[in-house]
Amino acid sequence: MVIRCDQEVRNERNLNSIQRAGVKLRSLTTDRRGEDANDVVAVATMKNDLAVTDRLPRRALVKNFARFSLGSFPRTMPLGQFLFEYLYRSGVRHSFGIPGDFALPTFAWLEKSKIHSVTMTHEPAAGFAADAYSRINGIGMVCVTYCVGGLNVLNAIAGAYAEKSPVVVVSGAPGRKDREKDPLLHHKVKTFETQRRVYDEVTVASTVLLDEQRAASEIVRCVQACLRHKRPVYIEVPHDMVDREIPIAGISPIVPEQSDPYTLSAALDETLALIRAAKKPVILAGVELARFRTAGLVLRMAERMNIPIAADLLSKSAIPENHRLYIGVYGGAMSSDEHVRHYVESADLVLMLGTFITDMSMGFYTAKLDRHRTVLATTERVNVQYHRYDSIQFRDFLESLAVAKMKPKHFEHPNPECLPLPLQKAERSESLTMADVFRIFSLHLDEGCCVVADIGDAIFGAVGIRSARQAQFIAPAYYMSMGFAVPASIGVALAARKLRPYVLVGDGAFQMTGVEVSTAVRLGLNPIIIVLNNDGYGTMRQIRKGCFNTITRWDYGKICELVQGGRTAVASTKGEFDQALSRAQKSDQLYVIELRIPRGEVSNQLAQIAREVRKIRGSRNLKRNS
């Protein structure tokens, strides 16, 4: 018997009320989606069995079914074999992680699969690598052991959740048998459920594969949720389950999700009326355009309507920066230049498409984007001025805008001469300022580069990077976790072999995860790693001085000796940096370039932001010289 409960499960409270209403939840796995939790439907398949399934957009469903219909799998398979084969067919080619005894049987299946397993030096780095890989590849994974590994990688997965990066976390775990009588087993924290429960906070779906009958459908459900929401999911694999034969048949198709046609048409009518009436509209292209691969639709719309486009720090490079309609990065006081700031703030309509409105990307509350002149469309909702429309698929909304009839707008580029000035002979011996670091850096970029920025002035200054040729850019510009960039460069290089990572990393952040240079050398990768050495936590010093901003002075180039690979250079003048970059570009080896930046020297963007933060937090600099 099949009983379909049409009741929506919006949050855990609803799940609980379903339980109280008499439906006993057997092998319930929790789906949490924050704001888009209303996408979850509960389907009761038997009186005592409630599964939470995802609704996928019809397009995704058709595509997915065409690519890897479950019909092409044998009727039964060992669990580990199915898990990695399904992940492979979903697009995963590399896995990042560190094994442990509970995870060894899972790693054995991983090794037998078509997915390459990359052992990193530390789990946080594996998480950052997988995050960057997933952003570029569309899905990625980490494979770790129970709690000591899983909880070690948690911060990176939290960042992936916050910034919508589709990472599958596969964790080895104590066996089904081990859990009987609740013994104290190594790596256990509080209960056997602890790790899964912690992960529920940073994933959109989670499962513990304790039941052979449901294992395949649970794997499918989690991976589909990851692809659909572009957010992490958690799959826990007890070591005594991974070799068991599991049935593959009988997985129910995923119900596609569609826009409500009336709501879609009302939202479009209102938006198009605003665009029609606008004299000076602008698009603020958001990061979801990159994640959901919809930047092309927005470009088509912008070109047909002749509307200029700005990006924000998180979405930088989602739209080609050398496009004639591109005007720069907007972020209030943290904009790439005054022209873009003025243009966006004086526009009579700002179309925010796929935009995350965060304190950081909006320049610590200095952005001026009043609701009466904005449309905010994301995968979660569409807000047109003060009206909110739900039940609209983001892609449907963009597709309709891209083909809508509209008289092209008048547009004059506010800053056509925005490219960096070439380096003059006379200035080559001058010492480096942060503005010059980003200017010289920009002069060396082209389509083969992916700039990977860490936290600190590396990310703030990167707002101003602009090049004649389109380079890619990734950074944890919302979650802002230090230590991202060096391991992320490994993820980038493996996800896109044609891109060479250009890492911008502060000395503090390098001391966290820079040792991943070791993994890059082992894999034969050749990122160019630029260490911005300003003798400590420069960003923090801008906000509050104190001895807590002091770190040990390292000779950064020596890392190459330690890991026995790569080349190094040190630069403290503009000419030296330019020369070091040229050498690194000509070399096919990994390069570590240490830039000696005077303490206290910061980019304009950091100076502006620090001023705002000091204002908000009321911080006074207590000590002068630390």
Ligand X SMILES: Cc1ncc(C[n+]2csc(CCOP(=O)(O)OP(=O)(O)O)c2C)c(N)n1
| Footprint of ligand X on 165-194 (CB under 6 A) | none
Binding site partner of 540, from Mg ion, ligand X, none, Cβ cut-off 5-8 A by kind: ligand X
Binding site partner of 267, from ligand X, Mg ion, none, Cβ cut-off 5-8 A by kind: none
Residue span binding Mg ion (CB under 5 A) among the ranges 72-80, 153-161, 502-510, 574-582: 502-510
Closest distance of CB 596 from Mg ion, Å = 11
What do you get for the CA distance between the two ends of the chain, in Å? 71
Contact pick of 436, 507, 516, 578 for ligand X (by CB under 6 A): 507
Collapsed DSSP state (helix, strand, coil) of residue 12: helix
Q: From 291, 257, 268, select the one nearest 400 (Cα to Cα).
A: 268
- Contact criterion met (CB below 8 Å) for 126 and 103: no
Interaction between residue 414 and ligand X (CB under 6 A): no
- Residue type, position 94, single letter: H
Closest distance of CB 77 from Mg ion, Å = 50
- Which residues are CB-neighbours of 21 under 8 A, at least 6 positions away? none
- Contact criterion met (CB below 8 Å) for 527 and 450: no
Per-residue x/- track, 234-273, ligand X (CB under 6 A): ----------------------------------------
- Helix (H) / strand (E) containing 495: helix 485-495
Interaction between residue 509 and ligand X (CB under 6 A): yes
Residue span binding Mg ion (CB under 5 A) among the ranges 279-287, 418-426, 501-509, 515-523: 501-509
- Contact criterion met (CB below 8 Å) for 337 and 466: no
Give me the sign of the Cα torsion angle 137, 138, 143, 149: positive
Distance between CA atoms of residues 228 and 54, nearest Å: 9
The residues that bridge with 94 in the sheet, in sequence order, are 116
Closest distance of CB 154 from ligand X, Å = 12
List alpha helices for 72-176, DSSP H: 79-89, 104-112, 123-137, 154-162
Site size toward Mg ion (CB under 5 A) is 5
Site size toward ligand X (CB under 6 A) is 17
Closest distance of CB 128 from ligand X, Å = 11
In this complex, which beta carbon is closest to Mg ion, that of residue 64 or of residue 603? Answer: 603
Give me the sign of the Cα torsion angle 576, 582, 586, 588: positive
Structure token pair of residue 158: 């939290």
Interaction between residue 538 and Mg ion (CB under 5 A): yes
In this complex, which beta carbon is closest to ligand X, that of residue 100 or of residue 159? Answer: 159
| Footprint of ligand X on 450-479 (CB under 6 A) | 455-457
Distance between CA atoms of residues 517 and 125, nearest Å: 11
Interaction between residue 506 and Mg ion (CB under 5 A): yes
Half-sphere exposure of 25 (CA within 13 A, CB side): 17
Per-residue x/- track, 190-229, ligand X (CB under 6 A): ----------------------------------------
Q: From 347, 340, 341, 343, select the one nearest 321 (Cα to Cα).
A: 340
Interaction between residue 362 and ligand X (CB under 6 A): no
Residue span binding ligand X (CB under 6 A) among the ranges 199-207, 247-255, 290-298, 506-514: 506-514
Per-residue x/- track, 537-556, ligand X (CB under 6 A): xxxx----------------
Distance between CA atoms of residues 266 and 271, nearest Å: 9
Closest distance of CB 534 from ligand X, Å = 5
Closest distance of CB 457 from ligand X, Å = 4
Interaction between residue 331 and Mg ion (CB under 5 A): no
- Contact criterion met (CB below 8 Å) for 467 and 490: no
Residue span binding ligand X (CB under 6 A) among the ranges 36-44, 245-253, 378-386, 534-542: 534-542
List alpha helices for 208-350, DSSP H: 212-229, 261-277, 288-291, 295-305, 338-346
In this complex, which beta carbon is closest to ligand X, that of residue 468 or of residue 616? Answer: 616
Q: What is the CA radius of gyration of the chain?
A: 25
Residue span binding ligand X (CB under 6 A) among the ranges 231-239, 258-266, 304-312, 501-509: 501-509
The residue whose Cβ lies closest to Mg ion is 506
Q: From 349, 348, 365, 345, select the one nearest 357 (Cα to Cα).
A: 365
Interaction between residue 507 and Mg ion (CB under 5 A): yes
Residue span binding ligand X (CB under 6 A) among the ranges 16-24, 386-394, 493-501, 503-511: 503-511
Query: In 119-148, which positions are buried (b, 16+ CB within 10 angstroms) versus exposed (e)?
Result: ebbbbbbbbbbbbbbbbbbbbbbbbbbbbb
Per-residue x/- track, 93-122, Mg ion (CB under 5 A): ------------------------------
Instruction: Extract long-range pairs of 548-551: CB within 8 Å, 24+ residues apart.
Output: 549/626, 550/626, 551/507, 551/508, 551/511
Residue span binding ligand X (CB under 6 A) among the ranges 68-76, 295-303, 505-513, 564-572: 505-513
Closest distance of CB 501 from ligand X, Å = 17
Closest distance of CB 538 from ligand X, Å = 3
Contact pick of 152, 336, 534, 608 for Mg ion (by CB under 5 A): 534
Residues that bind Mg ion (CB under 5 A): 506-508, 534, 538
Residues that bind ligand X (CB under 6 A): 455-457, 480-483, 506-509, 532, 534, 537-540
